[in-house]
Amino acid sequence: MFEPLKGINILDLTAVVVGPVATWRLGQYGADIIKVEHPSGDLMRGLGGLSPTGHHAGTYLHLNRGKRNACLDLKTPGGKAICDRLIEWADVIVANMRPDALARLGLDADTIRATYPDKIYCLITGYGTDGPYAGLPTYDSVLQGASGIAGLSMARDGKPAYVPMLICDHVVGEITAGAIMAALMQRGRTGEGVSLEIPMFETMAAFVLQEHLAQQSFDPPVGPAGDMRLLSAHNQPVKTKDGYIACTINTDAQVRGFLHVTDRSALLADVRFATVASRARYVLDWFEVRGAPLEARTTAEWLALFREADLPAMPCHTLQTLVEDPHLKAVELLDYEDHPTEGRTAVIRSTIRVDGQYPSARSAAAPCGWDTGELLGELGFSPAELDRFVAQKAAYIYEK
């Protein structure tokens, strides 16, 4: 087992996607995670799509593996008392509630670290805690618009478009997990905790600008903003006789091979396409050549030719064909298991191989309140106290 975070306790006060991505990643590395859910349940249980019971959408299942589940109402005295015990237990507290809501509950960084200076507290916000956007609500699509991601399609297609996945949540979630692991390393050396704040808007704006500030990275600018290769209208999957193929041709050797394989050898003498520098100068012309349809042959026929010439190309999968990809089947990315309430459910294993082995995918995401009783016992609460918390609706126990 690859468990570099074994023995690290994580209190997960997050919901929906960005926070669960971060804590899921920490759990993949062996951390013990307790996810606290309100009795109404994480919004993603239903928002993430259909499920047999309506309470375990696929997105929820995949992002909450390896976490134990405590169902608490933190607005009640009993729920807050249990949460205080969990804070004492935790090495790391991760939250993505609005800062003012956390402060009202006494779950903000200042309050917690005043008592426990060795704790690592991580707050994920939409727009930070200062600046004119601080405190505004947000979701992934809103951030795609605000950070310029949706606007990238404007140059290529003439209108903005969202990336059809929760790209901001996933990117920021992974960055958050990395920041927490760095903080754990520092605490290991110094014994001191730290307060982390990860603002999604700034993080994604930086993510976009690293690539697309481009020619305006210089003072004075040497050209417009934007990576012209990526913004070309021809930077699309290429049409074949029976579908599409995804290919990228970058080096001089690859260009020569591509022009030969696609029966455009006459362009080998074109100085516009002879070198990396010349193709950068005539990038729009080059991408028009590279993106031209290849409808004379099928996708499979083109792939065979491209692979013989050692050119980077793959079929352009749909959501339906992706899970049937022969490579993914051979390496067994997907498996299935029996879930306590949902029947047979898909398991996406870890993609990180360690010493030739893939780490465990961890336990299935549990129903709301699945571990409440067991966890309260571990925290030192008596059976009578547990019964009182349940009667007061401060805690909920799933009836197994």
For 94-140, what is each residue's pLDDT tens digit?
Answer: 999 999 999 999 999 999 999 999 999 999 999 999 999 999 999 99
Mean pLDDT, rounded, of the chain: 96
Query: What is the dotted CATH code of the domain comprising 9-207+363-396?
Result: 3.40.50.10540
State the pLDDT confidence band at 200, using cuts at 50, 70 and 90: very high
Task: Give the per-residue pLDDT at 170.
Answer: 98
State the pLDDT confidence band at 156, using cuts at 50, 70 and 90: confident
User: What percentage of the chain carries pLDDT values higher than 90?
Assistant: 98
Fold matches, 9-207+363-396 and 238-315:
no
Average pLDDT for residues 286-298, to the nearest whole number? 96
The answer for 362, left when phi > 0, alpha when psi is -120 to 50, beta otherwise, is: left
- Residue 364 clears pLDDT 90, i.e. is over it: yes
Cβ-count burial 177-202 (b if 16+ within 10 Å, e if not): bebbbebbeebeeeeebbbbbbbbbb
- Residue 400 clears pLDDT 90, i.e. is over it: no
Q: How far apart are CA 355 and CA 339, in angstroms?
A: 29
Task: Give the per-residue pLDDT at 384.
Answer: 97
The pair phi, psi for residue 209, each rounded to 5°, is -70, -25
| DSSP calls for 347-380 | EE-----BTTBPPP--SPPPPTTTTHHHHHHHTT
CB 56 within 8 Å of CB 45: yes
| Residues whose CB is less than 8 angstroms from the CB of residue 251 and which lie 6 or more positions away in sequence, other chains included | 276
- Residue 310 clears pLDDT 90, i.e. is over it: yes
Q: What is the pLDDT of residues 326-342, one digit of tens each?
A: 999 999 999 999 999 99
Taking CA atoms, 397 is separated from 32, 323, 378, in Å, by 20, 36, 15
Question: What is 238-315's CATH number, 1.20.1740.10, 3.30.1540.10, 3.40.30.10, 2.30.29.30?
Answer: 3.30.1540.10
Average pLDDT for residues 219-225, to the nearest whole number? 96
Task: Give the per-residue pLDDT at 125.
Answer: 98
Query: In the chain, what are the domain boundaries?
Result: 9-207+363-396, 238-315
State the pLDDT confidence band at 155, using cuts at 50, 70 and 90: confident
* Residue 20, preceding peptide bond in cis (omega within 30° of 0): no
Average pLDDT for residues 270-281, to the nearest whole number? 96
- Residue 208 clears pLDDT 90, i.e. is over it: yes
Task: Give the per-residue pLDDT at 360.
Answer: 87
